[in-house]
Every structure is written in structure tokens, then in C-alpha cells.
Structure 1
């Protein structure tokens, strides 16, 4: 190529735009080559760096106008070769011209041989990249003819040291982040599959006792409509919520569960909506809430009836505007979340009593699904028992399953199961732990008179449930000296949420607040 006058500023500006124009190193290198080959002859250009951990040279990208030459992208070096190569880099400075490898330092021929690159009839122009005293890598131009490069070419390439060094730093960081992103994606897929194997994709009872429930799941899963799952404690509301999520278009997104009754009232705002650094004492860094983490997926609000009034207001605002503001923040953050809520409480009565916002209830109760209790679907009990026993067999690596006599299974079917499926699972697990025989009888937990356990004699006095609950609450309030919530309060003594306790007190006519006088509960 005949040397012509080149405007340095124009060359620097145009080359830099292409070098720094993409975080994808191959795209940037291709764009640079197409422009720069009009000023500097090249049949191939490479970007490479040395990985200290593996003592390997890594070629990040290679660009040529025709078919790429054959080379090995990663090549290991011995310690002696590494020391010789570093000495040569320091000796030869920022740029190096090799127009005939027969007269070059042998270490350069060795380095290219490690990458299986034939340089016998080639010329090479190399730019050594450093930043703040640290070696970042090298940019190497090749010509397929000897005696191609001049000091003018080296001067032009040296002008681009800083753009290449900055881009090299960004490319390597981007590749590192991409690598970890792939690892995280792979981990997510692995754990999702592991959870599916553990929980099972099929809902037990889907063709029998839960057939009607699963029919409703099939109808609503393909929509983004909010779902309200109703049912007693332990009936499997989370299982149904999982089934809706897994059958929806959001199944590859996150499924985030929030137990609204288990989070302290002082923390629930931060847990749901997140907080900014410095929003309150102890907020040393910004925190993403459950809504942000569930974006693109499903948020399952379990025991939604336990939400405090001020949180109900914020939740309603998020559902209306599909944006949220973190605690202590002012910027609206968009969220794309499908809401599934669940409760064992009578939200209709709570709305009438002013304990749950009616407008929020309308937003959540778009598609209600009522799960029947286990005592109303006893045909599912054998399948559930065998499922729990099978899980334990796999956990204990037991090849011979336990036997369950028909008499024992009938007793299980006749027991009322106030704790529903959760209670059944616990009974099965306790029996498996304590039983050393091959046969499961459940004698320890279900006496043979169990089917008649609920029958009462004519002499038995049964008090109304409200009376029993009133007596328990009044006793707790007396012991707590009228204090409802907090340490030593009646709610803590009764082991229930303070809002739940206040709701029951209001329903039962138990006075609290200033209307109750000096001894009224607080």
C-alpha cells in the first residue's frame, strides 16, 4: 500500500467510534477493520489477553475480510515461556513491527505456534495495551506478505492505544458478566427442574376431589387476571397457586411467595415494596422488594387477610398503576406482576367490618377458587398417603415400600382432618419415623375409635365456639394488662397476628381502645 497523508485527528475519531461502538468485541473489531484497512494494510486482526489463573493466552476475537485462518483460541504457556514473553513485551515497548519472523525473537514464534498460527511468510504489527501499569492485552495486525509494515503504520496504531485499552477493559468485564449470567440462568433452570421433581407437576386429586378446582385453574391460567384462592388452612392453596403459575405464559419467570401474616408489621412495607438506602435506621443499602423480584412472573400473597391497613393502601395503588415507590424513594418503578392471593379467612365479613378495604378486595377477588377441605374429598387420601410414603422411600433410599393395610387406610379416610393435607402429611411422616415394621398402622396417632371420636354423649356440655374464643381472649388480655400487640401482648400470648386479634375482638364485642376505659386493651 502506497503511504498517503492521513489526518491524525480524523483517523483517531473515526477509529475510536468503531472501537468503542459495541460491547460485543467481535462486532467492534469487524467495524474497526473495515475502516482501518484503508489506512493500515491488514489481512487479519486479533484481540487477545493473558489469563493469569490458567497461564493461558486467550484470543477474544479475530477479524478478516475472507475466511478466518485456523487458530486455537486458548493456549497454555509454561512458566519459562511466560517469563520470556513478558520480558520481550517490556523490551519492545508499546508497538512492535515484525516484517520477517526469521529474524524475530523466538518467543514470538513460540507464542504463535501455541495458537497454531503459521507466521512463516507473514508480517505483524502489534499494539501492547496497558492501563494504570496493568497489562490488558494486545492488538495484533497480520499481513500475508513479508515487509509490509512501516513506522507510519505503527504511529497510527499507537494513536489508538487509549481507545483500545478502554474498550478492552469494558469487553472483558462484559464477557465476565455474560459468563456469570449464563451460570445463573443455568442454575435457575437446574433448581426449577429440581423443584418440579420434588413437588411434582401433577396435582394429586386433579382427576378426583380437585377436578373442579383444576378445571378452573385451566381456564384462568392463560390470563393475567388476579386469582383469589380460598380454603381452610392446609388444604393446598400454594399447590394450586403453583399450578396456575406453571400453566401460564409466565412459567419461566419467578414465582415469589409472601406469607403476609408472618412478616412483622414494621417490616412488611420494605419486604413488599423495597426501600432506598437511608430510608430508615439500619437501611445501609437499597433493597429490592418482593414485587420487583417477581416482575415478569407471579407474586403469591398467602394469608392476604393479615395485611395491615396502610399496606392495603399501597398494594391497591400498585395494582391500579402497575408502578411502585420504594420506602424512602420518589421514583416510580414499573412492575409487571400477576397477583395470586390466598386466605382462610372470610374476607367478605372483614370488608363489612371495615377490616379489609373493599376496593382492594374487588381488585384481588376477580377469579375466586375455593378448595374443598380434605374431609370432603376423602377419595384423594389414598393417593396422598402413597405420595408421601413414596417421597420418604426416595429420601431414605428404601427399595421396599411400606405396606398399608386396608383397615388403616379406611381409618385415615374416616378421620376428619382439621389440619387437612398438611396434617395428613405430618401424621404419615411421624408414623414412618417411629415405625420399625414393614406395615403402617397409624395406631399411635389414630386410635381405632377414631371414626367415632367426634361423637358426644348426652352428658357432654358443648359451649359455642365464640364463647370459648371470648374467654381465651379475655384471659390473655388480663394477663397482658390490656396490651394487644408487642412483646408480652395478648396477641403474642395467643400466638396470632395482632390485626387478627383486633378483628376477632371487634367481631365478638370485646372492648378495646379508649372506649374501654383505663383497663381497655391497647
Structure 2
């Protein structure tokens, strides 16, 4: 066995693949023990919780993060077992602990198991269990062998867990980088349509305020292009080579506000496995754009006011203040002065934000821009949708666009053009009856979606179907060439996490290894 153990260490420590590492462990255990499954929990003796981290079976590894609260009887049993360095059972039905966790782990019927204590800190124990279906599968020889390999397995499992952390960290950095790129305001070559006509006054104000550091409040209806103007201010400022971080204040749940705006320290709460910088810290040195600022709750307004006043923040779970240098741009489609009178918005915050207000007119008040905007959207969408030749806009269709009042403003115009390009024959563009578009959009969408079943699937249900299909095609393989993660163009760790959240579990109805 010693040669096999040496080879196991060599193979595991030389791989950077979590799946391959556990595959090597599985091969070793099958060779020397009756083996169907491996599980790795952490036991919290103070809370009486077995926190399962990993389950391996049939060549598949599933990373999990779910606690199993034990009864007082089971907790007493675990305390006794921890006094024995290599506890084991040949009949799971006689163990209260195993009865309580069997359904969670996914083991059908009676089974035998040997436990390893891999390491511990005060009140926390890292455990490993090997499982084989049926009674009386393990002998004293197996128990002695388990005790012999426990020190080596401790190092191997800790290495794989560190590898998992590294993979997750790289994935989180990649995701965060993608999100930042989406929010960065590097639009130096962007042209503001209407700058020589309907938006001339707005652009004059932008030119005056952009070089300064003063806060700006952009006021206008939904869809008028407040974020475009915010980008214009940022790109004309001395901060143009730094990030412009945009966030929709109305889209952040109250419970997540602190962690999203200010970030959190590693270990601040369950699941906080690494330090996360909030929106304000990400914008440090640059500009932050607070869209729909009027949607913030009064409690959130207090927190925002404090950070604007002091230019310091404290991450959730942190003990020190972090200084920041951020320019504030805000936007709203609501009447903040009216909200102040009704007690919905703080006057002191309004004073801070309203240093230089810019009102952006709705599209119905700058109809001269509709022609230029339409041509701009047609060109962009044709390039995006690979439509060639670019269809012409007839005078009749242009007239339809110019007499419509556009309650959704520029955003609605963009959507109408995109829809027209999709449904129009090649070579021409047909604008729908705009007076009916708003009322019938939902009905039309439902009518064209009848290829679904009578019950419309939820997004999670569709994701489950897609992931399960990818697992079928990959024959259950998650990582590596031809694996489900490759088919879905996802990082394996992200896929495992998504599977856990959606309740997609590896089939544990395995046959006993005889």
C-alpha cells in the first residue's frame, strides 16, 4: 500500500485539476477498500452542525456548502466518536448521526463507513468519510489501514481545498473584471446624437462642469440618456483615464446595500470567502454614477450622505476606515424636491447632490433629433445583427417616428428600430403602428412564445434542463475536454456552484464495489 500511497501523493500534488485530484483518490480507495463514495464535512462542535464541503462518487466530484444541523443525541454521538481517531460503522442504521445525514448525502439504504479526522482547530474538525453500500463491509484490517493513511490524506485534501479556493478566486476575479468592463466609461469615441440641436444646451452645461470636481445631478425621464450624459461628463474630466462605475440604486436590495456599496472583509459573514471591494472603492480615483438615486430608502440615503461628506467608508466586517477619492454623478427621473416635502428624500443629501443640476429634455421635445437617432440605431443594429445591405428609411416611416410622443424616449426608439429590423424584409424597414406598440407588446410576446408548453418554464427550470443535458452529453464529466463546463463555456467551479444552488445532485445510487 505504501507504494500506492506515494504514487497518490505524486499524482495529486502534480495536478491543478480538482476533478483529477479526486479521481486519483477514488482510484486509490477502490484499490484498497470497499468503496462507493467519499464525503468531506467540517464539524462545528459549538453549533452542532456538520457542514458538508465535498461529495465524490462514480468519478464525479460535487462541491457543496450546506449545513446539517444535528440533534442533541447525534451531537453526543459525534463527541464520543471524535475521541476515537478512526471511528467506523458496519451498519449505518445503528448510528443516529448517519441516519440524519444519509438523505442529504444521497445514500440509499444501509451502508458501512470509516471516518478520518484530518485536522482540527478549537471547536472545528475537518473529517473525511469513505462509504460502501451494505452491512459489514469493513474489517479491523481496513480500520488499521485507514489510520495509517490518515496523515497523508490530511495533506492531500488540504491541497485540493487550497486548489479549489484558488480556482474560485480566479473565477471571481474574472467575473469581477467582466463586470467592471461593462461599467467602465471608456467611451471617448462615442458621439452624442443631438449635440448640435436638441441637446445643445445640455452639452454646453456638460462642457462647463466636466473639468471641475463638483457633483452633478442629471434630471430626466426614463430612457432620455442620462447615462450617456454621465459618460460625457466623465470623459471630458481629468478623471477620463480612470473608471466610471455605474450602479442602479433601485436594483440593489436593502439587505445587500452595505456589502454592494462598501464591500466586505473576508469572513465577515457566511460565504464571504475573500475580500470584496464595493462600488465606491472600485471607483476610487474615478467617478461613480448613482442612477435612480431617488429610489434609495431613507436608511440608505443616510449611509450615502455619510460617505459623500467624509469620503471614507468601512467595509462590512471591517474595523478600519478606507479613504476614497470619488467624483459623484447622480441621476433621477423623480421630483426630488416634492419627495423632500413628503419626507421621502433627505434635504441634506439633495443639497449635496444638487450642486449642478442638468435637465435632459424628453425626446418629444427635441423631435429634430429623431431622424439622426434613427439612422444611428439602424446602422449600429445592422452591424450588430449582420444585416446587409442596410435598409433605407422611407419618408412615410420617418413621419411615423416624428409624430409619435415616445413615452419611453430614446430607449423606446432604439427598441422599436431593433424590432423593425428583425421583422422587416431585407432591403426595407417597416415601422409598426406605434400607437399600438406599447399596448400590444406583452400580448405579441406571449403569442409568439406558444412553442413552449402550456405551463411557462421558469428561468431556473430552463437552466436545470440545460445543465442536465450537458451532463448527459458529457457522460457526467464536469471538468476537462468534453466536460459539461466546456460545453456550457463556464468555469468548472462556477458550474458546480450553479448545480448546488439549483439542486442538481450527482446520482449517488451507486453499485457496491465488491
- State TM-score, norm by structure 1: 0.48
Structure with greater Cα Rg: 1
> Which structure is higher in RCO with an 8 Å CA cutoff and minimum separation 6?
2
